[in-house]
């Protein structure tokens, strides 16, 4: 009922006797239910704010409040696992900021940090020996990401991550690195860009990507086997 409170059919798909349905309908109008609703709303907003603190800090207060309200009203915000919820919220606001490069980049940065941090708890470096099998395919890592900070002369000096923007840095996030990120070499970045879809190892080597670069990113978790 809390998730679907803005729908007329908020109990759809639930098999209830008439007395149960009447009880629940009456419950919606009680002060206790409204209090519980407000508690859950506050909890959902607090978790979403924690997930995208930097990105939200760039937005005007009215826009920030509107996005958070839209997120909660949609029925989101009540996932048990924070990482799942946080990534969904960052995807949600990222879709609404794609035409604003600075805010969108900061959103990507938070999302990449979150995914690499989550992946670090699960990552086990794969055996690079399989790279000798030509038909083995590689793809970008499930917990990896690349964030490009495009230099912006109009970037406010005190804004979040201003130093990264002014330097025009490119960061690669990988769950197998202790600090979770590094500045990729041109060869590493070229390999990442080449893996916009799963590609056989043999094809990558034929295109001039070195086995050393492939193995290094594989052990970092920046790329992974699809097999």
What pLDDT, on a 0 to 100 scale, did the predictor assign at position 170?
95
Average pLDDT over residues 91-108: 93
DSSP E strand boundaries for 17-107? none
The structure's pTM equals: 0.80
Tell me: pLDDT of 4 over 60. no
Q: Please say if the pLDDT value at position 187 is more than 60.
A: yes
Picking from 110, 77, 97, 81, the residue whose alpha carbon sits closest to that of residue 5 is 77
Helix axes 61-73, 31-51, angle to 10 degrees: 120
pLDDT greater than 70 at residue 88: yes
Give the pLDDT band of residue 1 (cuts 50, 70, 90).
low
The Cα–Cα gap between 216 and 205 comes to 14
Residue 7 pLDDT exceeds 60: no
């Amino acid at each position: 009922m809390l998730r679907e409170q803005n729908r007329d059919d908020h109990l759809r798909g639930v098999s209830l006797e008439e007395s149960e349905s009447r009880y629940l309908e009456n419950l919606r109008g009680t002060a206790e239910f409204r209090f519980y609703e407000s508690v859950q709303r506050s909890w959902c907003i607090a978790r979403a704010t924690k997930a995208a603190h930097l990105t939200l800090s760039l937005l005007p207060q009215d826009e920030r409040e509107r996005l958070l309200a839209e997120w909660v009203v949609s029925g989101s915000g009540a996932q048990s696992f924070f990482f799942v919820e946080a990534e969904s919220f960052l995807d949600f606001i990222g879709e609404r900021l794609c035409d604003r490069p600075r805010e969108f980049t900061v959103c990507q940065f938070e999302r990449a940090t979150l995914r690499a941090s989550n992946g670090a708890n699960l990552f086990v470096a794969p055996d690079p020996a399989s790279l000798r099998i030509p038909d083995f395919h590689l793809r970008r890592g499930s917990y990896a990401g690349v964030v490009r900070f495009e230099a912006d002369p109009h970037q406010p000096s005190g804004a979040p991550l201003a130093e990264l923007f002014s330097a025009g840095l490119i960061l690669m996030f990988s769950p197998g690195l202790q600090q979770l990120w590094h500045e990729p070499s041109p060869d590493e970045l070229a390999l990442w860009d080449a893996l916009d879809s799963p590609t056989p190892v043999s094809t990558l080597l034929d295109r001039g990507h070195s086995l050393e670069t492939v193995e290094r990113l594989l052990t970092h978790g920046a790329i992974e086997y699809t097999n």
